Chains A and B, each alone.
Chain A
Amino acid sequence: DTGVSQDPRHKITKRGQNVTFRCDPISEHNRLYWYRQTLGQGPEFLTYFQNEAQLEKSRLLSDRFSAERPKGSFSTLEIQRTEQGDSAMYLCASSLVAGGARNEQFFGPGTRLTVL
């Protein structure tokens, strides 16, 4: 399978716990994006990386959220001290940016987080 993969697919946690999600992009893609989707809404941008550099963070990304892409390949998104409002689908996408051309983003299946 050469698509974007995310792990886990589902996560149930208790309020106050920390959680970490992983995203593996399409292998040759240098950009990696994180989005959050709540019920009945479109995905909302959280942050993105070009290789290992985090280039932009949304105001939605509070200081309880941290994302890394240490080797420019896979990425992790950690949420500390989870709150019920963090319950959502967390989507990862990747794309190839080369020579000024920006190609479409391909999405993974998402990680559905439920905070009890």
Chain B
Amino acid sequence: AQKVTQAQTEISVVEKEDVTLDCVYETRDTTYYLFWYKQPPSGELVFLIRRNSFDEQNEISGRYSWNFQKSTSSFNFTITASQVVDSAVYFCALRKEKLVFGKGTKLTVNP
């Protein structure tokens, strides 16, 4: 069975702080994809990143960075110098065919 655990239910930071959102996954598949999606208050899920199981390189995109560690089955997401607009619920997901989502982490960035 596939499972995604986001242990942090809510995180609150002050603007300009760095914040890391944790994601741990379980799967028996050797080939799979990992994703992060953002869900702002408007409700629409916004794709942020896809990583396949064979690519353990970390990735940076502007203020966002992702750390994929197969040895610990983790795919953590860091926002550097957070901004108020980053406030949203962030979901980590695992995919073979369909997406299996974690319960999400609600991030609040206060001015």
Contact = CB atoms under 8 A, between A and B. Distances in A.
Interface residues of B, number: 22
Most chain A CB atoms below 10 A, which of B33, B37, B45, B95: B45
Interface in A60-100: 89, 91, 93
Given A48-B97, A56-B97, A42 B103 contact: yes
Contact of A33 (B37, B98, B103, B104): B98
Given A45-B100, A56-B97, A109 B43 contact: yes
A28 B46 CA distance: 19
A107 B45 contact: yes
Most chain B CB atoms below 10 A, which of A35, A40, A56, A104: A104
A112 B93 CA distance: 22
Interface in B1-21: 4
B98 A106 contact: no
Interface of B: 4, 33, 35, 37, 42-47, 50, 91, 93, 95, 97-104
Interface of A: 33, 35, 40-45, 48, 55-56, 89, 91, 93, 102, 104-110, 112
